[in-house]
Every structure is written in structure tokens, then in C-alpha cells.
Structure 1
């Protein structure tokens, strides 16, 4: 039964107050006492208490000062201040900053103090249960993420095997396919593989630590373009990089951002466009890099612009294949590195994405 009782530490420099408190409340609670803030700190090293009650007017350290000193190392115990005089400014400041739960005037009213202690303990229990639920959810989320990542990797292997068989059948002409079924299968596999790769990107972005290193935007952009140029050889890429100063950033996440935006610029071109074009520009300054990706593709309906960064949102104004998570990953990656993104688009004319990324050149890695 003792383990289920509310444990209280009462700190007061007046011995008769400590004795009176112990005599009045020992049947209801498990009581510990200390006659100074320093002695209270020593007791807290070995005793796990639920509630700390401290007198405001103590030598060396006041009750508010004591609570302020322990709030970071011992955030869980509820804090109640006893005051025998009106020190309104200190009390209000302590309550506003979360240093104390409540205050009681001395001499205390036993019923009021009982009620305050019980209310404080209810909040203590609620917070503890909430913390346990959060830890449980974090564990479940972590396990789910690991499962999705592992499954995604495992799924890619048989998909690549099927693609290999399709390509092999084409090379040795062992399969007659007048209706183009192999092409249909290949398109479906590539679409599924693209979605799996997005899941892997999302997992890595959420799990990997941010790492800063020097980035050459000229090289990085051309590497990204090379990954998608084959999807539409008619597209003209215009690249303008103004990098007069060093830039340090997270290469993985900046690559993810560029890959997704360039992929969209290629994918969402107008079929009838005679001069499809994607313009990329970068301006590096001492404190930031500004990137823009502009295309003359199908554009985005104005009513959809507020939703394009939501997970699984897909615009209904096109029938292009897409996972609906590419722009969500872009926004999440930017959040990780402290960047921002803005979009302007006119339906039927094209889309412009503008990105700002902090330059961590003075970051001590």
C-alpha cells in the first residue's frame, strides 16, 4: 500500500512548520521533509517524489528560485509554493513560466491543501500516462517505419527480376507479343518501383541525421538532370548557377528535393508542346542558396496549390501517373534542413518552384 501513496517532499526553514505538516498529513501521504533548498536537492537525488512543496521565504534560496533551479533536471514532480506574505510579482512570474502548479498562503487551510495536493497528483498521473502513450506510439511508429523500409527493399528485388526477364525476352526474340502486353507489364512495374523508391526516400529523410558538407550546385544539378533526361529527350534544360561562395548543406536531402522537382517538371509536360523546357537557376549567397525550377508544362489548378504538399494528394487535372508523395517528401526534406518553398503556377502555361536553403558554411561539422 505504501508504494501507492502520494510521495511529497516539503521544504521549509522553520522546523515547527515541518513538524506540523508531517503531523497533519502523514496518514494520507508519504511525507519527506527538508529544512533548506540544499537539503531538498540532496533528498531528491535518492527519492522519487510526486509533489514538491516549498516555502517561498527561505534564506539562501527562495521557493521560486529553488523550483527554477530544478525544473530542467526534475520536470515531472508537481510544484506547490507556500507563501506567508504577498509577493505577487514573483508568484505570477513563477506560474507563467511553469515553475509552479499552484500556491498556498500560510498558515495553510488543511482542506484546501488536501485538495491542491490531490489535483496536482491527478495532473502528475495524467502527464505520466501521456508520456507513456507517446513513448509507445513512437516505438510502434519506429517499428512500422522499419517494416515498410524493409518490405520496400524486398519488393524491389522481384520487380527488377521481372524487368530483367522482359528485357531478356526482347533481346532473344523468344516471346511474340503482337498486342504489346510486355510493354504494359513494364510500365506497371516501373510505376510500382517508382512508388517504392518514394517510400524509401521518405524513410531515409525521416531517419537519417542531417549532415552538412560542401556542395557544388553545378555538378549536383547536372547529375539530377541526367537521371531524367531519357524520359523526354525533347526537353531543353537551361541551367544557370551563380555560386561565387562556398555552400555547405545536406547533400542527400537537397538531391531528394531536386530529383522530385525535376522529375515532376519532366513528367508533367504538355504532350502537344513543341518546345518543352525546364529552367533551373541557383544563386548562392553567404547565408543562403536560392533555387528555382520552372517548366512550361501543364501547370496546376489554382484551387489545388494549397494542397500539393499534402501526402497522397494528386491533382485531378491530369491523368499522369504519380505517387502523390513526391512534393510531400520535398516539404519534409526542407523542414529538416530549415528551408522554405513557394510555388506559382498557371494552368496550361507552367509551374515555378522557388526554394531557399540556409548556407551552413559556418557550421562546425
Structure 2
């Protein structure tokens, strides 16, 4: 806040009167408080205003050529920020009020004045100038902020419309691609079935192997298609879950059966541990199955032949939270990659390791498996934590609430419980 009194910051005060004695008296009265400029005519006053930063102008009403009110009215047009004060000897108060309204005068002072009153009036005029200046600055800042806000709102509105368009395009894309992919895949399966049925025992080993390769490739393509649509189609909300009580032991046995062909191909073994207290979980079994398969298939692909992969399911420190752990002693994950492994379509930048196969050692897929696993864990109200050291293997732990519907029923309590186990 700027003060217009004192030696460090002096306000500039212009007095206009055609009587030199009055000018001298006022200059002496205020010389210690303000920079006082004096003028005996309107012309001289205008020159001083043009040359100095004047905050307050006080003029006599009776001036040659132009009255004080006329001068102040003209001054208001050119310098509306200057505070205008009129001193007059008018005895008719209505004439004074009319004059003040015409010139938009801040205050008027009647002649003769008392020095104490004049000091007070001038001090109030400078205070009024300061307040008006701050008001103008605040209004300017407010206008600028409003303009910026309007620009941001316009950008957000445009971005929102673009997102809506992209969402519609995505939905159309999913419908078209789903049809265009699944239809020929079904036809491929149909033809291989007909060939096997038609040829029967006459099917040579070479032809049988070729048909198996066709079936395997079709299955691989269908799995890739399904993972893409699961990632693009599920929004992660609880409404997308088909919850049912899942028997953990039977669920683990089913995983073992699904993985057995790949484990045998690599001469690996899956060791499963189910804690007695981890009997069941309320979950979407299909999504839970996909999540676990993605984690376990990664463990198979990135573990060496004849190694053991461990699936351990039990309760965490919180009895309402299930901990599902997949451990391997394979190649591990580099520090550069570990921060991105859950990103959609991230599969490292080494194209030499890329493969759409299901079990080739150290081969990357299209980068959806872990992203899908993370999405499905979060849809259940949980999360995935990973610890890995390159060259020594990886440990993926999924924390899931045993009863995910209680996450909304108990609100912040459930959230706080899960947060206690969250990775930092």
C-alpha cells in the first residue's frame, strides 16, 4: 500500500488559483507532506499536469476565462483518475451542488477555510485516490483473470467436444473391428473343423500339424482381440463387474489346468499355495481369471526352462484384503521399464523380443496383459504392486478386498485400509 505522506513517498498536489497569496499559503501549509505545484491559470495547470504525476487537484471556482467546475469537468475527460477538489465562496448551496455534479467533484471546501479542516480534506482526497487506484488495479486483474478463464473454458469446451467425438469414434471402431475380426476367425475355426471331419483318418501328419497351426494362430488372434476390447470397453466402474462368490481353491485348480500346456512346453512347474483362511472372495470370476492368467503367463514367458513359478494366495495384514502373489526367478524387469509396465501397449522398445505367442521365452506381446490386469484389479477396488530386480526375477502382488461392495458401504474406512498396503 502506497502512502502519499512522509518523506519516502510524497504525493503530488496541484493548487489552481489566480491569487498568489492563497497559492503561497497553501504551499507553505503542505510543503512537508506533499509535493505542491501551483498555477494561476487553467493553461498553466494543464501544462503542469502534463509534466507531472498529479494525484489531487484543488481549484478555485472563480477563475479567469474558465470556471473551476469547467476546468475540473475537462480534467475528468482527460485524467479521470485525478481526484478533483473545489474551493469556493458560493453562499448558495444548491449552486454548489449543481457545480459539483457537473464536474464530478470529490469534495468542496468553502472559503475561508481553517488549516486543520483543509489538511483533513486533502488527506482524505489522497486516501480516496489510493483506494480508487487499488480498485482500478483489482478490476484490471479481475478482467484479465476473467478473460483467461473464458479462454480456458473455451479450450476445455472444445477439448470436451473432441473427447466426445473420439469416444463415439472409439465405439464405432470397436463395433466394426469386433465384427471384422471375429467373423473371419469363426470361419477359420469352421473350415479347420470341416477339414478334420472330412478327411478323418486320411489326414496326414503334415496336414494335421498345419491345421493345428491354423487353429493356434486363430486362437492367438482371438485372444489379442478380446484383450483389446476388454481394455477399451471396460470403464473400471463397479457396474461392469458381475460379482459372485469364488471358491479360491477351485479357482486355482482351474488356473493350473489352463496353464498346464504352456508349463509342459517350457518344462516348468507352477507351485500353488492357498492359505486356509483364504477360502473365498466376492469377485467377477472371468475378470479375476484374466488378471491372474496375464500375470502367470508373463511369469512363464520371462522365466527360464525348468524353473518353478509360485502362486500364493492368502489374507494380508488386513483380514478383509486378499493378497495374491505371483513370484518367478526369471529375467526380471529393468528400472527403466518398471515405471511403464502397466501402461497400455507398453512392451519395451526392444523389437527383437516381440512376439504374439503365448509362451516363447523372453518374448513380449502387444503390451496389454499387465494393463488389463491393473484395470481389473482396480475395478475390484484393489491394486497391483510389483517388486523386481533385473536378472533375479519378479514379484507381483495383487491386493483385493474380500467383499468389494463394502468399499462403497464403508467408504473412507475401506479406502484407508487399502491405502495402508499401497506401495510408496
Shared fold by TM > 0.5? yes
After the TM superposition, which residues 188-203 of structure 1 pair with which residues of structure 2 at under 5 Å, given as runs? 188-203=217-232
Q: What does the per-residue CA deviation read over 1:191-228, in whole Å, with 9 as the maximum and x for residues that have no partner?
A: 32221011122124325535465443323333333333
- Which of 328, 333, 340 is 1:307 aligned to? 340
Which residue is equivalent to 2:81?
A: none
- 1:307 aligned counterpart, secondary structure: coil
Q: What does the per-residue CA deviation read over 1:20-62, in whole Å, with 9 as the maximum and x for residues that have no partner?
A: xxxxxxxxxxxxxxxxxxxxxxxxxxxxxxxxxxxxxxxxxxx
What is the CA–CA distance in structure 2 between the aligned matches of 1:299 and 1:172, rounded to whole Å? Answer: 48
- Which of 244, 247, 252 is 2:277 aligned to? 244
Which residue is equivalent to 1:330?
A: 373
What is the CA–CA distance in structure 2 between the aligned matches of 1:197 and 1:138, rounded to whole Å? Answer: 24
CA contact 2:263–2:269 (8 Å) conserved in 1: no
CA contact 2:320–2:401 (8 Å) conserved in 1: yes
Q: What does the per-residue CA deviation read over 1:165-215, in whole Å, with 9 as the maximum and x for residues that have no partner?
A: 123313432877848654554443333222101112212432553546544
What is the CA–CA distance in structure 2 between the aligned matches of 1:169 and 1:260, rounded to whole Å? Answer: 33
What is the CA–CA distance in structure 2 between the aligned matches of 1:351 and 1:111, rounded to whole Å? Answer: 63
Where structure 1 has 5 or more consecutive residues not aligned to the other structure, the ranges are 1-104
- Which of 365, 382, 387 is 1:343 aligned to? 387
Residues matched between the structures, number: 257
Query: How far 1:260 sits from its partner (Å)?
Result: 1.0
Which residue is equivalent to 1:55?
A: none
Where structure 2 has 5 or more consecutive residues not aligned to the other structure, the ranges are 1-129, 357-364, 410-424
Query: How far 1:277 sits from its partner (Å)?
Result: 3.1
CA contact 1:281–1:291 (8 Å) conserved in 2: yes
1:168 aligns with 2:191: no
What is the CA–CA distance in structure 2 between the aligned matches of 1:268 and 1:283, rounded to whole Å? Answer: 24
What is the CA–CA distance in structure 1 between the aligned matches of 2:342 and 2:175, rounded to whole Å? Answer: 25
- 1:331 aligned counterpart, secondary structure: helix
After the TM superposition, which residues 141-180 of structure 1 pair with which residues of structure 2 at under 5 Å, given as runs? 141-154=166-179, 155-173=181-199, 178=206
CA contact 2:302–2:330 (8 Å) conserved in 1: yes
Which residue is equivalent to 2:295?
A: 261
Which residue is equivalent to 1:209?
A: 238
What is the CA–CA distance in structure 2 between the aligned matches of 1:253 and 1:298, rounded to whole Å? Answer: 27
Deviates more, 1:203-212 or 1:283-292: 203-212
What is the CA–CA distance in structure 2 between the aligned matches of 1:319 and 1:119, rounded to whole Å? Answer: 53
After the TM superposition, which residues 130-149 of structure 1 pair with which residues of structure 2 at under 5 Å, given as runs? 130-149=155-174
CA shift in 2, pair 1:247/1:176, >3 Å: closer
CA shift in 2, pair 1:113/1:268, >3 Å: closer
Query: How far 1:303 sits from its partner (Å)?
Result: 4.9
CA shift in 2, pair 1:350/1:167, >3 Å: farther
Query: How far 1:345 sits from its partner (Å)?
Result: 4.7
RMSD of aligned alpha carbons: 3.5
Bigger Rg, which one: 2
Query: How far 1:289 sits from its partner (Å)?
Result: 1.6
- 1:206 aligned counterpart, secondary structure: coil
Q: What does the per-residue CA deviation read over 1:233-257, in whole Å, with 9 as the maximum and x for residues that have no partner?
A: 4543322112526644555543332
What is the CA–CA distance in structure 1 between the aligned matches of 2:159 and 2:403, rounded to whole Å? Answer: 32
CA contact 1:268–1:320 (8 Å) conserved in 2: no
- Tell which has more relative contact order, 1 or 2 (C-alpha 8 A, sep 6+): 1
Query: How far 1:112 sits from its partner (Å)?
Result: 2.9
Give TM-score, length-normalised by structure 2.
Answer: 0.51
What is the CA–CA distance in structure 2 between the aligned matches of 1:309 and 1:287, rounded to whole Å? Answer: 25
After the TM superposition, which residues 75-154 of structure 1 pair with which residues of structure 2 at under 5 Å, given as runs? 111-154=136-179
- Which of 197, 206, 222 is 2:253 aligned to? 222
CA shift in 2, pair 1:196/1:140, >3 Å: same
What is the CA–CA distance in structure 1 between the aligned matches of 2:388 and 2:205, rounded to whole Å? Answer: 44
What is the CA–CA distance in structure 1 between the aligned matches of 2:206 and 2:135, rounded to whole Å? Answer: 92
CA shift in 2, pair 1:291/1:157, >3 Å: same
CA contact 2:386–2:394 (8 Å) conserved in 1: no
What is the CA–CA distance in structure 1 between the aligned matches of 2:184 and 2:230, rounded to whole Å? Answer: 19
Give TM-score, length-normalised by structure 1.
Answer: 0.58
Compare the two structures and name the one with the higher helix fraction.
2
- 2:323 aligned counterpart, secondary structure: strand
